[in-house]
Chains A and B, each alone.
Chain A
Amino acid sequence: EVQLVESGGGLVQPGGSLRLSCAASGFTFSNYWMSWVHQAPGKGLEWVANIKQDGSEKNFVDSVKGRFTISRDNAENSLYLQMNSLRAEDTAVYYCGRIFQTTGFWSGYVYWYFDLWGRGTLVTVSS
């Protein structure tokens, strides 16, 4: 079965650290860009970070730059998010997402979108 399963969430104090994991199965993990997206309680979705297939390129939203690191282990079919210096506003469900790229037949443009999501893991930052 094609799926993503997140783990590692929990309660952490402000200023603390947490490492999230995402286990991929049912597809060739190393062929895809991967991403983390979070959703604060009762709020909308926010993209957090992307990582290229070989880990050579990474992008982050400004609010987590310098605090969060994204990495992957293609041999283990796993994606990670190391979160340091956590703040109350980082409280959210964190989703792992697979990024699909497709080329428009007429335009030749390369389109990117999340075609597979995990069920999420909840991170709560509170004292």
Chain B
Amino acid sequence: DIQMTQSPSSLSASVGGRVTITCRASQSISSYLNWYQQKPGKAPRLLIYAASSLQSGVPSRFSGSGSGTDFTLTISSLQPEDFATYYCQQSYKIPWTFGHGTKVEIK
């Protein structure tokens, strides 16, 4: 199975700040990498697909980059509604696997 390793596991940031979350795959997954946001008690929400494509309706402050084994999710100017847990997910090979999540908290 492909292991997805996210870092950090949690971070504190201020409103307006820039946040970068990394995701590393245990083998090359080309650009088959998606990012989701999840708030407590809610279902996940798709942010980025195919490593860098912004899902319709998602604010442009979210961006994704990378290919192969190393990927990043960047929030350019953190807003109060962005405090949540973020997961990466590979769809290169079954079983699809998720990272363990990065919790973004208020500083």
Contacts and interface: CB of A to CB of B under 8 A. Distances in A.
A44 interface: yes
B31 interface: yes
A120 B50 contact: no
B44 A102 contact: no
A interface, how many residues as a size bin? 20 to 34
Q: How large is the interface on B (under 10, 10 to 19, 20 to 34, 35 or more residues)?
A: 20 to 34
Interface stretch (A23-31, A67-75, A82-90, A107-115): A107-115
B43 A112 contact: no
Interface in A47-99: 47, 50, 59, 61-62, 95
Interface in A100-127: 100, 102, 104, 107, 109, 111-115, 117-120
Secondary structure type dominating chain B contacts: loop
B97 A47 contact: yes
Contacts of A107: 31
Nearest to B43: A117
A102 B50 contact: yes
B95 A47 contact: yes
Contacts of A102: 49-50
B97 A114 contact: no
Given A44-B87, A45-B89, A114 B99 contact: no
Interface in B29-78: 30-32, 34, 36, 38, 42-46, 49-50, 53, 55
Interface of A: 44-47, 50, 59, 61-62, 95, 100, 102, 104, 107, 109, 111-115, 117-120
Interface of B: 30-32, 34, 36, 38, 42-46, 49-50, 53, 55, 87, 89, 91, 94-101
14 contacts: A44-B98, A45-B87, A45-B101, A47-B95, A50-B96, A59-B94, A59-B95, A104-B31, A109-B31, A111-B50, A113-B34, A115-B55, A117-B45, A118-B43
